[in-house]
Structure 1
Amino acid sequence: MIKRTHIAGAVILVSVLGVSAFTWQVGERPPANHTDDAAHQDGEHHDAKAAGGHGEAEAHADGEHHPAEAGAEEGEVLRLSAEQIAAAGIQLVTAGPRALDETFSLPGEIGFDEDRTAHVVPRTPGVVESVAVELGQRVAKGDLLAVIASQQVSELRSELAAAQRRVALATTTFERERELWREKISAEQDYLQARQDLEEARIALANARQKTDALSGVSVSAGGNRYELRAPFDGVVVEKHLVPGEVVSEATAAFTLSDLSRVWATFSVAPQDLARVRVGKPARVEAPDLDMRVDGHVAYVGNLLGEQTRSAVARVTLANPDGAWRPGLFVNVRVSSRSRQVPVAVPELAVQTVEGKPAVFVRGAEGFEARAVDLGARSDGQVEVLAGLAAGDRVAGEGSFVLKSELGKSSASHAH
């Protein structure tokens, strides 16, 4: 009996303890909002809307910028304030109709302006005594290039000196015979002979001077048997073939000087394009490797076709004050053929490559949207838009590359 009493008491005690434990668990259950916090701690992603206000606050406490996700869902839109646009140097332009010149491009090469290029050669055979300039050196008109010793120069100067003395002697004889003839002391025949001798001496002197003057121009007398080669105009020494001690002749190419302040862009024109390339036509010379371009006009179109190329040679004359256009540089010559009106055009700098396709950034109410476009003719920094843009649309011009960079960053963040 006592044993049964103990068993019944134990059962009652266990039942009481179980009910108490269940009551404690129910009373101590955390609120629903804090349960969401625990759920976030386990690394799983829960809908922020299902959680309460505290759940959203805890979700933003990790320092991440969640509003960017909402922008990504709306498409390729970049939101920038007016201050951000100004700071980035972004300028807005309006797409609209424009007159564009239809152009076609031909390969060409920068060369010397042959009207301002001189091949300086010795005027007489001789031996080089000194060279005063180096290859690539800039010289002014009259600057000394080289000194050459020549036996022929010595002979010419001796001939000139003898002719001068003969003229002086013939002049004295003539004046004496003239006085004697006037005083009836000598015959008229002697007077006439003296006058003839004087005229012959003067002719010989003139010939000697002409021979000596042949050394003038690029060559200037240096005295004795030496003469100097001097620069005929301002330019650059682009070729030098003289060294001291070298024997030279009239056929020796001593120096080549060129005035590089003006150069030629020479290109070949096929027969089918000759009708479109005329003297005076606008042309743009571009060097893609150096990111240089300059506008000019076609200055010359050859009348004959080359035997090898069967094409005509044409050129554009370019001003080159800073020497950036160097002879030998390969270029593209874009020649304008005719002008036409296009309904929609934008500056070329407004076009960027997005996902391998040309695109512009259109300004809308929400921000800038990257919009793919089809392009047409280009002229004078403008490009025709065939599709993807309407007249009146505002697009980012200068500084559009900043938007392309921001778009790339946004796409990278969404990928993660």
Structure 2
Amino acid sequence: MTTHAISRLLFALLLSAGVAACGGNRDDAPQAAAAAHADDAAGHGDADGDAGHEDGPAATTIPAAIADASGIRVAAAGPGSIADEHEVQGLLTPVEGRVAQVTARFPGPVRTLHAGIGDRVRAGQPLAVIESNLSLTAYTVASPISGVVLRRAASVGAVAGEGAPLFEVADLSTLWVDLHIFGSDAGHITAGIPVTVTRMSDGVSTDTTLERILPGTATASQSTVARAVIANADGLWRPGAAVRARIVVDRADAAIVVPVVALQTDEEGRDVVYVREGERYAERAVTPGRRDAKQVEVVAGLRAGEQVVIAQSFLVKADIGKSSAGHEH
């Protein structure tokens, strides 16, 4: 590395320390360090002069300190598996048998209410007091199960008829996920296969397995319904909410896989990855094959064991671009 490059590195690291000391955004410091290195590469080239050579791959040299500070990470390319996945949508519903209807035993006016919609109650907890028209004495209506009050039909002063529903209480500690499968996809999906369910509200996911394929067809959508069960410890999975899910039907072995995030596109529209050798990062054109949501198979252009950038690859791409632009002047 030239004296000027060393100075740029020291400046970038000092800048990082200064940003942190001033209470600035810590994520900006690594970006500033990478930018300083890229500017140096554009104006002065790499120490070994590989970036911009027409007879070699596009490449750049990034000192380890700057790579670490910028969040650039690598991993060895190697064998893995590609999932055959189906993306579907579904609906959360309470588990059958875990919903209780709380009714009045005797007719009479409601004198007191002790719970409202959304309240968590325990089994045996009083929910209301009703004065019986038959005995003219008050009796207590209690929750038969522990759970959450979903509905309340009672109001103070109103007359509750015998057997009239007053509350609906549901145990929501676990929920059903009813997933809708369309067309020929239904023939590939069976009970016992893994599924990842994702909340649309915040993107949180949970892994489970399909419990069963329901024998009937959903009337409105004419879809096959596949049912799974999920835990709801945080209470944020809400009955009636729509979810999306990824069902893994099968997995196929592949000789070389890399994370999907490792792939970039060069100026010619080719799929490329960035391979690290020491502090040198070289652009490598690859031929992708099968892929799933997380990994992609590489059928040509990469050898097992080569160190591929799997985080902040766009920074390496930008650094190579600036280095090449500097050599063109």
By the TM > 0.5 criterion, same fold?
Answer: yes
Contact conserved, 1:283 with 1:336, CA < 8 A, in 2? yes
How many Å separate the matches in 1 of 2:58 and 2:164?
A: 70
Give yes or no for the alignment of 1:295 onto 2:199: no
Pick which of 336-345 and 89-98 moved more. Answer: 89-98
- Structure-2 change in CA distance of 1:390 and 1:115 (3 Å): farther
Structure 1 or 2: larger strand share? 2
Give the fraction of aligned pairs with identical amino acids, expressed as a percent: 31
The equivalent residue for 1:404 is 314
Contact conserved, 2:274 with 2:316, CA < 8 A, in 1? no
Computing the radius of gyration over CA atoms, which structure comes out larger, 1 or 2?
A: 1
Cα deviation digits, residues 313-344 of structure 1 (max 9, x gap): 22110112112323333222222222221222
Give yes or no for the alignment of 1:112 onto 2:74: no
The equivalent residue for 1:100 is 82
The equivalent residue for 1:330 is 242
TM-superposed CA distance for 1:412, in Å, is 7.4
The equivalent residue for 2:61 is 79
Q: Secondary structure at the match of 2:188?
A: coil
How many Å separate the matches in 1 of 2:92 and 2:138?
A: 38
The equivalent residue for 2:130 is 148
Q: Paired residue for 1:368, among 272, 281, 294?
A: 281
Contact conserved, 2:281 with 2:316, CA < 8 A, in 1? no
- Name the aligned partner's letter for residue 383 of structure 1: V
Give yes or no for the alignment of 1:377 onto 2:280: no
Cα deviation digits, residues 205-235 of structure 1 (max 9, x gap): xxxxxxxxxxxxxxxxxxx622222222221
Pick which of 119-128 and 276-285 moved more. Answer: 119-128
Pick which of 313-322 and 302-311 moved more. Answer: 302-311
- Structure-2 change in CA distance of 1:268 and 1:114 (3 Å): same
The equivalent residue for 1:68 is 42
Contact conserved, 1:94 with 1:391, CA < 8 A, in 2? yes
The equivalent residue for 2:219 is 307
Contact conserved, 1:361 with 1:396, CA < 8 A, in 2? yes
- Structure-2 change in CA distance of 1:137 and 1:359 (3 Å): farther
Cα deviation digits, residues 115-159 of structure 1 (max 9, x gap): 32223222333221111112212222222211122224x2xxxxx
How many Å separate the matches in 2 of 1:412 and 1:85?
A: 16
Give yes or no for the alignment of 1:277 onto 2:189: yes
Contact conserved, 1:287 with 1:331, CA < 8 A, in 2? yes
How many Å separate the matches in 2 of 1:228 and 1:354?
A: 73
Cα deviation digits, residues 21-80 of structure 1 (max 9, x gap): xxxxxxxxxxxxxxxxxxxxxxxxxxxxxxxxxxxxxxxxxxx96543325635754533
- Structure-2 change in CA distance of 1:354 and 1:116 (3 Å): farther
TM-score (norm 2): 0.71
Pick which of 339-348 and 127-136 moved more. Answer: 339-348
5+ long unaligned stretches in structure 2: 1-37
TM-superposed CA distance for 1:87, in Å, is 3.5
Q: Paired residue for 1:123, among 92, 105, 116?
A: 105
How many Å separate the matches in 1 of 2:266 and 2:119?
A: 48
How many Å separate the matches in 1 of 2:282 and 2:185?
A: 41
How many Å separate the matches in 1 of 2:260 and 2:241?
A: 25
- Name the aligned partner's letter for residue 286 of structure 1: T
Contact conserved, 1:103 with 1:378, CA < 8 A, in 2? yes
Structure 1 or 2: larger helix share? 1
TM-score (norm 1): 0.58
How many Å separate the matches in 1 of 2:283 and 2:200?
A: 27
Cα deviation digits, residues 260-281 of structure 1 (max 9, x gap): 2212221122352333222211
5+ long unaligned stretches in structure 1: 1-63, 155-223
- Name the aligned partner's letter for residue 364 of structure 1: E
Pick which of 238-247 and 358-367 moved more. Answer: 358-367
| Alignment of structure 1 residues 218-367 onto 2, 5 Å | 225-250=137-162, 252-270=164-182, 272-287=184-199, 290-351=202-263, 360-365=273-278, 367=280
- Structure-2 change in CA distance of 1:351 and 1:410 (3 Å): closer
- Name the aligned partner's letter for residue 223 of structure 2: S
How many Å separate the matches in 1 of 2:272 and 2:152?
A: 53
Cα RMSD of the aligned pairs, angstroms, is 3.3
TM-superposed CA distance for 1:288, in Å, is 5.5
Q: Secondary structure at the match of 2:217?
A: coil
Q: Secondary structure at the match of 1:254?
A: strand
- Structure-2 change in CA distance of 1:344 and 1:406 (3 Å): closer
